Chain A
Amino acid sequence: MPTTALEPEKILKDLRNLWIDLGRENDLAGGVLRACGMTLVVAAEADMDMDALRHTLGVLMHTHPARAIVLRFHDSAGMQANVFSQCWMPFGKHQQICAEGIEIRAGRNELDDVAQLLLPLLAPDLPAVLWCRGPRVFWGDGFKPLHPLVEKIIVDSSTASDPYGALEAITSLRKQGRLVGDLSWTKLTGLRELIASLFDEGAAKGIRNVEVRYGGDMPTASALYCATWIRRSLSVPVTLKHTHEGPPGLRAIQLSGEHDVLLTRPDRTTMEVHCGERVRKSTMLLLSEETLMSEELSILGPDAAFDKVIA
């Protein structure tokens, strides 16, 4: 679609025309179903790979159809916008589902103008979520003018150079009453579920203390989250310990109690649980950005477990 001057009414008109065109193109093939359950505002750097982001959005739309508003910030001044659609044919169906999108390019010092422009572009009366994609977008520049416009802010603290500072920033945001999601926390869901299942099965009984081991120079945000989560769930001492084995990140968890249980990650796809002589292997893949985002977008209200960790 052609570039549009930045008047919200004109962008919305372009969106309407986009749907008219889509309807015409698909008229003979059963038409299109316009899907929109929320607004997803993606704040990203101008040099970000737009194809990769489009792919992520394309996959996300299948489970969370949304009006996507992609904000790309660059160093020079000047705002531009264009509209686009993401369509897919559900497996075994005959009608395409399409979601709409708006891409806005703006200078870094035009954030206030962007916030003003954004308000009329949000899908009315539906939830709005801000996804700060990329390290500078959230941690460096402080996108505060956008925060009041959305119900939830999603960040990825693994992109921050200082994980302690990142967690502090998230805690502070939460204390201001904002709902926050952190993909570093989302990455832990599989591991947390595994630990919960050990408790259910009785393998992790009478735990007295826990050691969370990490590789790299300092603990990652995920390692910090994991340690805090265990400490606050069990009220037992939890130690963070550096290990030279393996790459940076969360490497192992030792639960010491009636039986000692050791969870290790021998490679990128497996989790091993050592309980006495027994070793159990579980597949634990590194999740894609769209999988992590999909989980976060399915929670648009308070998240008690995460709140407990960042409190």
Chain B
Amino acid sequence: MLKPVDSQNPFADPLRFDRRVPDCALVIFGANGDLTKRKLLPALYRLAYERRLPDSFAIVGNSRTEMTDEAFRQKMYESVKQFLEDSPFDEDLWNTFVRNIYYVSGDLNDPKLYTELKTKLDALARPNVLYYLSTQPSYYGPVIEALGAAGLGRSTDRGWQRVVIEKPFGHDLDSARALNARVHSVFPEEQVYRIDHYLGKETVQNITAFRFGNGIFEPLWNRRYVNYIQITAAESIGVEGRGAYYQEAGALRDMIQNHLLQVMATVAMEPPAAFEQDQMRDERAKLLRSVKIMKPDEVSFHAVAGQYRGFREEKGVDANSQTNTFAAATFFVDNWRWAGVPFYIRSGKKMPKRTTDIAIQFNSAPHALFSSDDGRAPRPNLLILRIQPEEGISLRFLSKYPGSGMRLRPVSMDFNYGSSFGERSPSAYETLLLDAMVGDATLYTRQDMVEASWKVVTPILENWTERSFDFPNYDPGSWGPAESDAMLARNGHKWRNA
């Protein structure tokens, strides 16, 4: 209920009309993979359940495995039933939805696949096509070029052709640039949707609402009032069978380079002039370009790598693996708003609990009138934006402990999504798929954002590639290696291990 059907349409009523998805087909490369089963199909089914998709909406799956349409439909039926979250499964709806699911098998390197795909799309006659690359990253370039060679990448008067590219977008700055060049040889930037599912999370979108929809926080949102900011994305599980992939990626590439730097950009960016896709993305890109690039000799001071005990015994993992399953870094933003304020970012596997949050620690009161009830200096205010699992916002402040005397104790003012908005928010993939189909790229990352975030992590990557770590260096169930705590302690700060 956000965007007008068409701003030129005299009947438009953006307050009440859903954004309308035009007749289109979604082609999923890698349709036999985990992402399709666990996220994409359940999200698409849920959009159909919400009546957000046109009756003519079609899905064409592709993978190497030989399969009939019927067999693919059965697979997707089982996946949706298994992985649909927070929603009941409606057999009648599925029976309607499944009629427009098709399958084309074929090797991504084989030009014949694209000819068959073109034949299928011509037969379906949907004017608009969204290609979703859910394959191994090494196939992104070849698939895009093959689509171009088959004449499948060009938008026409009849309709658009767009491509959604999953992360990782390159494995370093050079490869990201090279991939961008290959993508642009077929799809202009406005047809490219680089997905970062963190940006599709309701709670991440709410950061923008919280900052720019309220008058009271933004005046405090700067170096004068904020002492430091922590962003934590902790997982309690390990690599769960993805050892081979994870060994090549690591926490820095897998989480910090994309998700957490995007979250940081959303937390720290300047207010855009309007809530429009280019203006929002301009501000996020500008912030990422303002992140101070570490000098080589600063890396060991501002970044910590960790690996949990037992990672090297995981299936597909090298016995001497140097992969980081934990990464933490201190970033600074070179602009007037944030100069000197540390942004501590960490992400790790096998941590004590699954949690993603942003903690904004404000400065202490300039003159301490009171002590807290444990006799120590009062704790400063803390604002916590909880991304998952208990989505919400908390503000810690001090309150007088009841009774005689003036003893202060920290208390928390909580906002919980469920308590104000009922039971369900759309999943990130529902939001992002819908956005791509209606042509709204606000929550997608742009080429300059991707390259800027690679630039931020490049010195760390280069340093860590050259070093030999004494891994493993943290126990499963702990908050990472001791060096991570030491990194903050040097500034007189502590991780918020709540």
Contacts and interface: CB of A to CB of B under 8 A. Distances in A.
A76 interface: no
A93 B423 contact: yes
B421 to A, nearest CB: 7
B157 to A, nearest CB: 12
B16 A189 contact: yes
B15 A304 contact: yes
Contacts of B5: 193, 196-197, 200
Given A196-B5, A196-B17, A200-B6, A88 B423 contact: yes
Nearest to B12: A196
Contacts of A218: none
Given A199-B9, A299-B16, A33 B85 contact: no
Interface of A: 33-37, 61-65, 88, 90-93, 95, 97, 189, 192-193, 195-197, 199-200, 229, 233-234, 295, 298-299, 303-305
Interface in B400-417: 416
Contacts of A192: 11, 13, 16-17
Contact of B86 (A90, A199, A303): A90
Contacts of A295: 16
Nearest to B18: A193
A193 B17 contact: yes
B420 interface: yes
A197 B20 contact: yes
B421 A92 contact: no
B11 A233 contact: yes
A64 B20 contact: no
Interface string B4-26: 01100111110111101000000
Contacts, number: 91
A88 B418 CA distance: 12
A305 B15 contact: yes
Contacts of B18: 193
A298 B1 CA distance: 10
B86 A91 contact: yes
Nearest to B54: A197
Contacts of B13: 189, 192-193, 196, 304-305
Nearest to B20: A197
Contacts of A61: 422
Contacts of A33: 416, 418-419
Contact of B421 (A37, A91, A299, A303): A37
Contacts of A189: 13, 16-17
B15 A65 contact: no
Contacts of B416: 33
Contacts of A64: 422
Given A196-B9, A196-B12, A200-B9, A35 B20 contact: no
B88 interface: yes
B175 interface: no
A233 B6 CA distance: 14
A22 to B, nearest CB: 14
Contact of A62 (B20, B420, B423): B423
A34 B415 CA distance: 11
B16 to A, nearest CB: 5
B333 to A, nearest CB: 35
Interface of B: 1, 5-6, 9-13, 15-18, 20, 85-88, 416, 418-424
Given A92-B86, A200-B20, A36 B11 contact: no
Contacts of B11: 192, 195-196, 199, 229, 233
A199 to B, nearest CB: 5
A181 B388 CA distance: 36
A91 B87 contact: yes
A62 B9 contact: no
A18 to B, nearest CB: 16
Contacts of B421: 37, 63, 65
A127 to B, nearest CB: 11
A63 B419 contact: no
A97 B17 contact: no
A298 B422 CA distance: 12
8 contacts: A65-B422, A91-B87, A192-B13, A196-B5, A196-B17, A199-B11, A298-B1, A305-B16
B15 A299 contact: yes
A200 B12 CA distance: 10
B10 A90 contact: no
Nearest to A233: B10
A162 to B, nearest CB: 27
A63 B418 CA distance: 9
A244 to B, nearest CB: 29
B86 A93 contact: yes
A61 B12 CA distance: 29
Find the residue from A189, A196, A199 having the highest chain B CB count within 10 A.
A196
Contact of B419 (A97, A193, A199): A97
A97 B420 contact: no
B409 to A, nearest CB: 22
Contacts of B88: 91
A266 B371 CA distance: 75
B6 to A, nearest CB: 5
B170 to A, nearest CB: 36
Contacts of A97: 418-419, 422-423
Contacts of A195: 11
Given A97-B418, A298-B1, 5 more contacts: A33-B419, A61-B422, A196-B12, A199-B11, A303-B16
A119 B407 CA distance: 35
A33 B6 CA distance: 40
Contacts of A95: 418
Contacts of A229: 11
A234 B86 contact: no
B423 A90 contact: yes
A303 to B, nearest CB: 6
A34 B15 contact: no
A295 B418 CA distance: 19
B277 to A, nearest CB: 20
A295 B86 CA distance: 21
| Minimum-distance CB pairs A-B, first 7 | A90-B423, A196-B11, A305-B13, A37-B420, A233-B10, A35-B419, A62-B422
A63 B420 contact: no
A201 to B, nearest CB: 9
B297 to A, nearest CB: 50
A89 B434 CA distance: 28
A306 to B, nearest CB: 9
A212 to B, nearest CB: 14
A123 B202 CA distance: 26
Contacts of B6: 196, 199-200
